[in-house]
Structure 1
Amino acid sequence: MSFEILEGQGRDCLVVDDSRVVRKAARRLLEGFGFAVREAEDGRKALEACRDTVPDLVLLDWNMPVMDGLAFLRAARAEIGERRPVVMLCTTENTQERILQALEAGAQEYVMKPFDAEILGGKLAQLGLLREAA
């Protein structure tokens, strides 16, 4: 299954994860879908990056030093707004309580690590950012 960015949709993504390996893997997948990718290793740097240019999509880890994903999400929603950027939490946190906490804080989607192109593409398609290629 392959995916492509919908015409007229944003192409800027910020990948936020304290693991360089995860950032690199996510970058490769997202660039394969046609996104321009920036990276940040913690929530504080991600918030600074969003202040410079608000991305269309944030792929966000939960557990990070300095500022975790949930703190970033709350700060970004308070400062930037509730609808933009689209935020997908990518984490190992898998309890229903944690998922609800993330969604209530303003995440639009949630994906478990590890993920692959099909899983990530499917989630992005659910968000209306990709479509299945013909």
Structure 2
Amino acid sequence: MEMARCLIVDDSSVIRKVAKRILTSAEMMVTEAANGQEAIDMSAHEMADIIIVDSSLPDMDSSDLVRRLMALPADFKPVILLCLSELDLGAIMRAKRAGAKGYMLKPFTRSQLLEHFREFRFAA
């Protein structure tokens, strides 16, 4: 089985490091982006299987980032999850309309993050 790739887009280095520590394994390679433009640049070079996007990025609206990621030419479309610090139905609906598959709340635990990943991993 090919190694799965996950991209974590969050301006908080702490959140990125925690998520990377949770998800990195023999089956999963995890990369990080500190903002939307960095995520687009990385994804244009190599698209991740699943992308976790923070709902409040410093350089662009999260739904704009989702839309731009989904529009990139790639062999497949990534599974994108919006990550929020509080439930915001407006942000969730905008992200879903842009192409996100779902959302998760932070702070998250290892089991929550892995469960979200399992839920969408084979749905791609």
Counterpart of 1:89 in structure 2 is 82
Q: For residue 11 of structure 1, report the CA deviation from its aligned partner.
A: 1.0
Q: CA RMSD, aligned part only? A: 2.1
Structure-2 separation of matches of 1:126 and 1:9: 18
Counterpart of 2:58 in structure 1 is 65
Distance 1:128 1:53, change over 3 A: closer
Q: For residue 33 of structure 1, report the CA deviation from its aligned partner.
A: 7.5
Counterpart of 2:46 in structure 1 is 53
Pick one of 65, 68, 71 that aligns with 1:75.
Answer: 68
Structure-2 separation of matches of 1:88 and 1:27: 15
Pick one of 92, 96, 104 that aligns with 1:99.
Answer: 92
Structure-1 separation of matches of 2:86 and 2:94: 11
Q: For residue 93 of structure 1, report the CA deviation from its aligned partner.
A: 4.4
Counterpart of 1:112 in structure 2 is 105
Structure-2 separation of matches of 1:33 and 1:124: 15
Counterpart of 2:5 in structure 1 is 12
Which blocks of at least 5 consecutive residues in structure 2 are unaligned? none
Is 1:39 matched with 2:3?
no
Runs of 4+ with deviation above 6 angstroms: none
Give per-residue Cα distances to partners, 1:70-90, cap 9 Å, x unaligned: 221111112247x61111111
Alignment coverage as a number of residue pairs: 122
Give per-residue Cα distances to partners, 1:17-60, cap 9 Å, x unaligned: 00000000010011147411111100011000000101111111
Distance 1:27 1:39, change over 3 A: same
Letter of the 1:49 partner, please give it.
M
Q: Higher relative contact order at CA 8 Å, sep ≥6: structure 1 or structure 2?
A: 1
Structure-1 separation of matches of 2:63 and 2:86: 12
Structure-2 separation of matches of 1:109 and 1:10: 22
